[in-house]
A and B are shown apart, each in its own frame.
Chain A
Amino acid sequence: MRVMKRRDFLRATGSSALACSVFGLVACKQKETKPAPAPAVAEYAWLFFTDRIERDVARTTLQRLLPADPESGAPSAHDLKVLEFIDGQLAEPHFRDLHRMMHGGFNFIDRVSTKRFGGTFLSRTPEVQDTILGQFQTGAIKGLKFPQERFFETLRSFALEGYWSNPKYGGNFEKKAWSWVSINPHCSHIHGSCTE
């Protein structure tokens, strides 16, 4: 599975860094004189969000749920690859039951935006996008035969997972969420040992 490959790559990178600290600078400098060719970065192959428009609506929605925040220094959902995390999770067999609702939810966001807010979701201002999402959250969109609150809550939950989880699942890219608030849940406070 692709995510696993990336995890393995990150692990390998971590091992290399550790080796430098253990064996000293000389060994590392020797490596630096003959740099290995940079590995090709494979483009992410989408499993659930295969439709481009749906993917863009989903990505924009996540950016509104968990935006970059200059005041607090928060990275954004996009920075942390939250959409990739959700894509990987929805591809798991036990989340198949959610597929219909999740596809329906992003479709309805765009349709509601177009019909009631004057244009596609992607074309609206962040303020209007927030208004639309707020209405989904509270079930305020009248006449919509769709579990809008349940969809929003499911997406909110996945978004928090993708933002704050162990990076091996494809989100929290480079542990940027943990770095933002200076935590590492995998390390013991007393011994500093980590369980990753």
Chain B
Amino acid sequence: MTDPAAAMKQFGDEPVDICIIGSGAGGAPMAHELAKSGARVLVLEKGPWYKRADFDHDEIKNSRRNYWVPYVSEEPHMLQFSADSGPQKSSEGWTSNCVGGGTVHMSGFFYRLHPDDFRMKTLYGDVEGASLADWPISYEDLAPYYSRAEKAVGVSGLAAKTKYSPPRDDDFPFPPLATNPLSRLVEEGGKKAGYTVYQTPRAILSKQINGRDACVYCDFCGSYGCESGAKGSALEAFIPGAIATGNCEIRPDSMVFSLDVRSDGTISAAHYYDKDGKERTVKAKIFVVSATAVESARLLLNHKSVTHPDGLGNSSGLVGRNLTFSTLGKGWAEFDVASLPEDLKPHHPIHFINRSIRDLYFLDELKGEYNKGGSIGFLLPHRNPIFTADRVAKRFTPPLWGSALQGQIKRTYTDVRELEFEVYGEFTANPLTYVKIHEEVKDKWGLPVAQINVHNHPLDIRNNLKVVEAGIEVLKAAGASATKQETVGGTTFILQHGTCRMGNDPKTSVLNAECRSHDVKNLYVVDGSFMPSSGGVPTTLTIIANSLRVAERLIERLGNGEFSAP
């Protein structure tokens, strides 16, 4: 593959039409669509630009150090759980800092939301301790962009009708990926337990397309970059096309630290540190912020001026508020090889299970109450060897070591087969979960860092437990010799939403339905910040689809000459 950056447009210090801050699931599709329309687009990305040749299976590099996420000593977040006495430095709340953002090291579970996710307030009314809101758009508004996003990324799957599947009138663009025969156990267990098991849609090519190979089934998706280009990261699906227009420059290693605001309240310029630490400036007509829900809120809140005294675009006081993640549940099971059917006994070269259950998206047994559950995704444990040894050790309390650990590790690789599941549950927006600026702690550039306050709503924990119990029920019905509820009511920090909630009323939302700031007419925010609710599935597909939707409106407005020259 040729380096897409080799013939890239270089704007130098020229003003551009659009400056996009962040190049992940929100920023990259915008760059692609706007550049394709003829607009001059400059993308500032704080992280480096990795290429396929940089990607390998080195666990130390990819999973244990700062290849994707900064060291706490250099760029901490301050993490405060509601029950704790004070915030602690943490790397939670970062997703991958590189061109392509979190999509580069994602697993690529590409589910759509359910239509009722868009009308949580209408559905449930006032729930104590929650800040529910309807979206200003419906599932039907987003559905065409879901289809476009699935095609652009290359989602492999099999359309299936289950109880709470979102409606769709087309097949997935690519057939399902091959799977490990152990997936049969999940199907059998699901059937016995009374659930519908279906193929998990993955943002991974099952067939080759131009410039991208089909999946080679190396099994290193989550936490790793894809060396074949099969994973539909923004790095593969959007960046090369954006550059090929000749209208887009990607500028890596560029940390934006402030925005200039005119007397009319609009932004005129962004200031950033380049790879050498030198201060540089970009002037543009429009600024699109897409740096994750935590970091976008931080950038806006760190800006205080006469026209925006509480932060940029924050007349509602809601920038940073209504932060949501995904409520995490996890379960595990092992099956004695000796008791498995003969065809399931050998190790199989393919590691994907790719089976999901969505029957508990809404919990029927709690009908009439706040019954938002989530979805279950079954998988084989990651085959990272350090991680494997550690999770085997940590299945015991305190963690195992010595001969006992060595024996358990050998047994794990030889005598048993393991299955896991993850639950992606609703993380209900609430007043105690938000981002604010920690005024004393600063990062390596001297910028005040984000403090992340987290409170898991008790009903999320209650409902999450029920979904985890269902997952365990499936694995037991499949013949597991041992099972364990590993996590209930946890937090998946890499899925972030809500800190610039969109809505029709400027008093109760930060962005309008086009993801444009109510206050700052040339400011858009297109990462997960716009989402009023988290949904009960991973949300990367939704962020991409929304970005395509927003880009379409923005191109119309640019065409109408609504934005003045910088």
Measured in the bound complex, the distance between the Cα atoms of B56 and A165 in whole Å is 13
Cβ contact within 8 Å between B56 and A196: yes
Chain A residues positioned under 8 Å from B399 (CB to CB) = 137, 156
Measured in the bound complex, the distance between the Cα atoms of B57 and A64 in whole Å is 29
Question: Is B390 positioned at the interface, with any CB of A under 8 Å from its CB?
Answer: yes
Cβ contact within 8 Å between B407 and A71: yes
How close is A111's CB to chain B, nearest CB, in angstroms? 22
How close is A148's CB to chain B, nearest CB, in angstroms? 12
Cβ contact within 8 Å between B386 and A72: no
Q: Which residue of A lies closest to B408 (CB)?
A: A72
Query: Within the complex, which residue of B59, B220, B388, B405 is in contact with A165, where a contact is CB–CB below 8 Å?
Result: B59
Question: Is B389 positioned at the interface, with any CB of A under 8 Å from its CB?
Answer: yes
Q: How many chain-B residues does the 8 Å CB contact rule pick out?
A: 41
Q: Which residue of B lies closest to A159 (CB)?
A: B401
Cβ contact within 8 Å between A72 and B384: no
How close is A112's CB to chain B, nearest CB, in angstroms? 18
Chain A residues positioned under 8 Å from B401 (CB to CB) = 64-66, 133, 137, 156
Chain B residues positioned under 8 Å from A169 (CB to CB) = 60
Question: Is A164 positioned at the interface, with any CB of B under 8 Å from its CB?
Answer: yes
Q: Which residue of B lies closest to A193 (CB)?
A: B216
Cβ contact within 8 Å between A189 and B217: yes
What is the interface of chain B mostly: helix, strand, loop, or mixed? loop
* Interchain pairs with CB closer than 8 A, number: 106
- Answer whether A166 and B405 are a contact pair too, CB < 8 Å, given A72-B410, A183-B413, A185-B385: no
Query: Within the complex, which residue of B219, B385, B390 is in contact with A189, where a contact is CB–CB below 8 Å?
Result: B219
Query: Within the complex, which residue of A64, A73, A97 is in contact with B402, where a contact is CB–CB below 8 Å?
Result: A64
Chain B residues positioned under 8 Å from A157 (CB to CB) = 390
Cβ contact within 8 Å between B216 and A72: no
Cβ contact within 8 Å between B410 and A73: yes
Measured in the bound complex, the distance between the Cα atoms of B349 and A189 in whole Å is 5
Q: Which residue of B lies closest to A73 (CB)?
A: B410
Cβ contact within 8 Å between A164 and B403: no
* Interface 1/0 per residue, B80-117 and A, CB below 8 Å: 00000000000000000000000000000000000000
The A-contacting residues of B in range 385-416, CB under 8 angstroms, are: 385-386, 388-390, 393, 398-399, 401-403, 405-407, 409-411, 413-414
Chain A residues positioned under 8 Å from B410 (CB to CB) = 69, 72-74, 180-181
Q: Which residues of A contact B (CB under 8 A)?
A: 64-67, 69, 71-74, 94, 97, 130, 133, 137-138, 156-157, 160-161, 163-166, 168-169, 177-178, 180-183, 185-191, 193, 195-196
Closest 9 A-B residue pairs measured CB to CB?
A: A189-B349, A72-B410, A74-B406, A69-B406, A164-B385, A181-B413, A188-B218, A195-B56, A164-B386
5 A-B residue pairs with CB within 8 Å: A67-B402, A67-B403, A188-B217, A189-B219, A191-B216
